Structure formats: structure tokens, C-alpha cells
Amino acid sequence: MNSDQELVKRTLHGDTYAFEELVKTYQNKVYMLAYRYMGNEDDANDMAQEAFIKAYRSLRSFKGDASFGTWIYRITTNVCLDELRRRKRKIAPISLDEPLATLDGAEIEREISDQSLAADVIYEKKEFSQNIQLLLDEMKPEHKTVIVLRDVMDLSYEEIASVLDCSIGTVKSRISRARIILQKKLTERELLN
Amino acid sequence: MNCEQMQTLFSPYLDKMTNDVENEAIAEHLGECELCAHKLEEMGRICAMLKNLDTPQLPINFGESLHNRIGHEKIKIFPGSPLGVPKRTGWIAATVAGLAISAGIFTSSYLPYGAMVASLQDWMNKDNRPHIAVVDNNKILQDWINKHTEKVQTENGDQITNPAGQTGNETPGTTKPGNNTGIAPTITKPVQVALQEKVEQNYTAKIQVDDMDKSMQDVMQLAYASGAQISVKSANVMAATTENVKVVTMQVPKDKASALLSELGGVGVEAPLQNSVTYTEAYTENQKALANLDENIQKLQSSASLSDEQQTQLQNLLKQKQDLQAKQERIDKAVDSVTIEVRLLGKD
């Protein structure tokens, strides 16, 4: 029995300190995963905490077939994707051309900032990371998920299949498709030279 | 395989998830297609950059905040500590406690609580308790031996087995199985021929015992049950032997004597139960006077003819005889108790 399973067992006997040991082991990766899904620090913080709380509540369902890491990544993924879907339903589509109404009845024109990325900041790590994050946010969740799990989190195909509860073949084709889409976006926006 | 189909293999190719056939096909295609070679190199560069994306640091209060939330969740998930299975020491302690309780119950059922209560009642009513006196053992034993010798020898020396008992309706003592002494007692009741003449009736019984205290307790219980007045005498040294002896003297109501004698047989009597009759001096004189009267009366009555003076003398003698007989009946009636001496002979 590895240390993770021992800590899980102790947690199930009411030892919260054991669970906090698990948190310390995985909190950085869970937070990074949540950040890539959510795109900002506050949401990443909330979702990472929510993922750990959900894991704590449903720890009895953890059978130990996969590693605790894979299990907490799956929870984090589901928590984040559920939240993103919930938000997508709530946000009503608006027309960018429609003028904004002010309190005094006057109308002002919307000032839309140019989201396109300048080519001179591509290789600046911070800027590139922010731009990549914007591109990831534009992608479908299924593509975004495999890019994050494979290229950001560096999980193997087997681990990704376990997290997403699908076959390795599905993972392989989904990663391939996602990378081609991402590459196309980067090329279109001239973020690669 | 055209370029678009080939480019779908670039992703697994970079992850080393393609087989040899695919690898050969890719290598062959890249040698011929410069665009696909560029695409593969670009995809590899993107993957490398994705692995090194800048990620913000975990918030400082992340652990503390989560700790507080887990604390609240614990109350919901684990509202109370589950009852654990007792450890081995717990089971052992429970077993020992159970055995101790069982042993206590078992033992308590055999404790002589009844006897304790009876003793307490006796103590509370000590004025009504039978008097128990312990006297000089040697003197008592010597007296008993002397008395025993006298009692055994009656006037005419006859001893017969009394099949009908001495007290009329009561069943005389009979043979009973022996007790722990292993001695089957034979109780024989020698009686005096002239039953009507006794004025004191005495029985003596020897009982060989293993456990002096227990046998004494048995005898005392029998005596109490018969309403006897009891005196106990102890002797450590007997005149002729070194046996440990205790003598219990009982004054038993006349109507209960026979039953008590029978029960004493159950305790275990070694020697035949001996009976003796003691005559008081007055009674003896009365007997002698009565005998003389009978003799004189017979002489007068045997004469062929009697003078008037002799007739008058005969009438007087007959009247004296009637008076003496009446006196004897009164003495007999006055005897309402029987004395029983039980001698317990210890083995050591």
C-alpha cells in the first residue's frame, strides 16, 4: 500500500490531517489544472478548493484502482467543466454593435479592445502564456481538456484515458485533433514565426 | 496518404505513440514534403511551450482556507466517532469480569445465608436460646462413666430389646444407614422390665465421627428441632483413651424422645443405644414398703381363717397399698422428660 492509499485510509477513519497531507502533495498541480481550465486565479482557487472538498466528501468511492492523483485530476476536470457549462448557460449573448445604455438614458459606443496578440511578445513567456490561455478558452472543452492534461500537466495517454474515463484511442485522436486546432489558431493569429 | 492524413499522425508521433509502419510512412513523407516537415516542427515547438507555460503561484491562504472548509465537512461526514471494535485487552477484561460475576453468583448460592440469618435471630433472642454450658471435661466424663456403669446394671440385671418402644405410641429408634463415618448404627433399646416403676429415663449414645464440628452441628440441629434443653460438655482426654469427646445432654419432652432417638441414629451411632432407669430413694423405699405390704397381705390372705384383729390388719394393709400405688402413679406422671446423652467420639 503506497503512501497515498494509506493517507486515504487514515482519512476515512476521521484523520483530517492525513487528508491535508494529500492536499499538500497535489494542491499545486490541481491549482495549475484549474487555472488552465478556468483562465483566472480566483476561479482557479475556488475550483481547486471545490475539487478537494468534493474529493473529501466522496473519498469512500475512491477504490484505489487508479492513483489518487488521477482521481483528483478527474474531479478537478469535472468541477471546472461543470462550472464553465453553468456559466455559459447564464451569460446571455449580446451584440457587440449594440450601444450601451447609461443610467441617464444617453447611449455610448462600446469600446472593444483588440484581443489579437502582437507578434513581438510571442516568445515572451508571460505574454505567450496569457495568449495561449486565451486560445485555450476558445477551444471546445473536449479539446481544451486533452491539451491541458497532456501538454500542460504532462499526463500519459493511459492517465488521460483514466481521467476522462475513455479509451486510449479516443485520447490519441482527441489530442491530435486538439493540437492541430491550436496550431491553426496560433498560425492564423500570427503568434508563431 | 496525403498531407492532411499525414498531419493527424504528427501528434502521436511526437508522443511516441505511433507504430513502426506509421513511423516509416511519416519519415518517407517528410523527405518529400517540406510543408509537413515544417508543420511537424511547429507542433513540436508548441508542445514544448505548453509544458513551460507561466502559471501563477498557489494563493498563500489556499491551505488555511481549505483546512477550515474540511473542518466543517468533517462534522457533516463524521458526526460522531464510530464505535471501534474492542481490542484484545478489552475482550480479555470483559471475559474476566463475566467469569468473576458468574463465580460470585455461583458461590453465593452455596453460602449458608439461612444459617447466618438463623444465628442472627438466635442472637437477637438470646434469652430464649437453650442454655449451653461447658464444664470440666474430666469430671464430667468420670461422672458419666460412673453413671453409665450404674445405669447399665438394673436391679434384676435384665436387658431386653424393646420392640414396641418405651413411650407407647411412638415408634422406637431403628436402624438407619450410617453417615460419613461409614458405620451402620444399630440402635438397641434396652428397657427395664418394670416399666411402670421408672422415675427417670436415660439414654446414652456413642457416635464415632470424622468431623466433630459438623456432627455436633447435626446433633444440635436435631435437638433444637425436638425442643430439647441442651448442655454440651467437652473432653479432650477420656479416662481410658485419648479420644476427643464431646457430650451433649438433652432434656427432651417425653413424647418427642423416641423420634429424636431415631434421628440420632442417622448421625451414626457406634455403640448400642443404652437405656437405664434410675430410682430415687423415696421411690425405692416406696417400692420396698409396697413389697412388704404385698408379702404381709399374701400371708394374711393365705390363712384359712382370720381373726377380727387380723381382718382389720389386712384391711389396713390393703389401704396402705392403695396409698402407695397412688403415690407411685403420681411420681410416674411427674416424669415428663427423657434425658439423652450423646457422646461424639472424634477420631483424633
Segment B245-274 shows an average pLDDT of: 71
Q: Say how many CB pairs under 8 Å bridge A and B.
A: 105
Q: What is the ipTM of this complex?
A: 0.79
Flag whether residue B240 sits within 8 Å of chain A, measured between CB atoms.
Answer: no
Of residues A106 and A173, more confidence is placed in: A173
Query: A117 in helix, strand or coil?
Result: coil
Residues of A in contact with B47 (CB under 8 A): 151, 179
**pLDDT by residue (tens digit) across A75-94?**
999 999 999 988 877 665 55
What's the number of CA atoms in the CB half-sphere (13 Å) around residue A127?
12
The nearest CA of chain A is from the CA of B39 a distance in Å of 9
The pLDDT, as a whole number, for residue A79 is 95
Lowest mean pLDDT among A47-51, B62-66, B93-97, B245-249: B245-249
Most confident of A33-37, B160-164, B213-217, B331-335: A33-37
CB nearest to A45's CB, from B47, B59, B74: B59
Segment B303-308 shows an average pLDDT of: 77
The pLDDT, as a whole number, for residue B175 is 35
Three-class SS string for B197-258? HCCEEEEEEEEEECCHHHHHHHHHHHHHHCCCEEEEEEECCCCCCCCCEEEEEEEEEHHHHH
**pLDDT by residue (tens digit) across B171-196?**
333 333 333 333 333 333 333 333 33
CB nearest to B43's CB, from A41, A129, A183: A183
CB nearest to B73's CB, from A27, A57, A157: A57
The pLDDT, as a whole number, for residue B296 is 82
Q: Which of residues 85-144 of A touch B (CB under 8 A)?
A: 125-126, 128-129, 132-133
Single pTM value for the model: 0.47
**pLDDT by residue (tens digit) across B309-340?**
888 888 888 888 888 888 777 766 666 677 77
The pLDDT, as a whole number, for residue B271 is 52
pLDDT band at B222 (very low <50, low <70, confident <90, very high): confident
Q: Which of residues 37-96 of B touch A (CB under 8 A)?
A: 39, 42-43, 45-47, 49-56, 58-59, 62-63, 65-67, 69-71, 73-74, 77-78, 81-82
Query: B124 in helix, strand or coil?
Result: helix
Instruction: Tell if the CB–CB gap between B66 and A49 is shorter than 8 Å.
Output: yes
**pLDDT by residue (tens digit) across B120-156?**
766 666 555 444 444 455 666 667 666 655 544 444 4
**pLDDT by residue (tens digit) across B262-300?**
777 776 655 555 565 566 666 777 778 888 888 888 888
Query: B330 in helix, strand or coil?
Result: helix
Q: Confirm if A138 and A106 have CB atoms less than 8 A apart.
A: no
Nearest CA in chain A to B6: A176
Q: Confirm if B324 and B332 have CB atoms less than 8 A apart.
A: no
**pLDDT by residue (tens digit) across B36-61?**
999 999 999 999 988 888 888 999 98
Flag whether residue A151 sits within 8 Å of chain B, measured between CB atoms.
Answer: yes
Q: Confirm if B173 and B257 have CB atoms less than 8 A apart.
A: no
Interface mutation vs chain A, best among B39, B40, B53, B68, most A CBs within 10 Å: B53
Three-class SS string for chain B? CCHHHHHCCHHHHHCCCCCHHHHHHHHHHHHHCHHHHHHHHHHHHHHHHHHCCCCCCCCCCHHHHHHHHHHHHHHHHCCCCCCCCCCHHHHHHHHHHHHHHHHHHHHHCCCCHHHHHHHHHHHHCHHHCCCCCCCCHHHHHHHHHHHHHHHHCCCCCCCEECCCCCCCCCCCCCCCCCCCCCCCCCCCCEECCCHHHCCEEEEEEEEEECCHHHHHHHHHHHHHHCCCEEEEEEECCCCCCCCCEEEEEEEEEHHHHHHHHHHHHHHHCCCCCEEEEECCHHHHHHHHHHHHHHHHHHHHHHCCCCCHHHHHHHHHHHHHHHHHHHHHHHHHHHCCEEEEEEEEEECC
Of residues B203 and B300, more confidence is placed in: B300
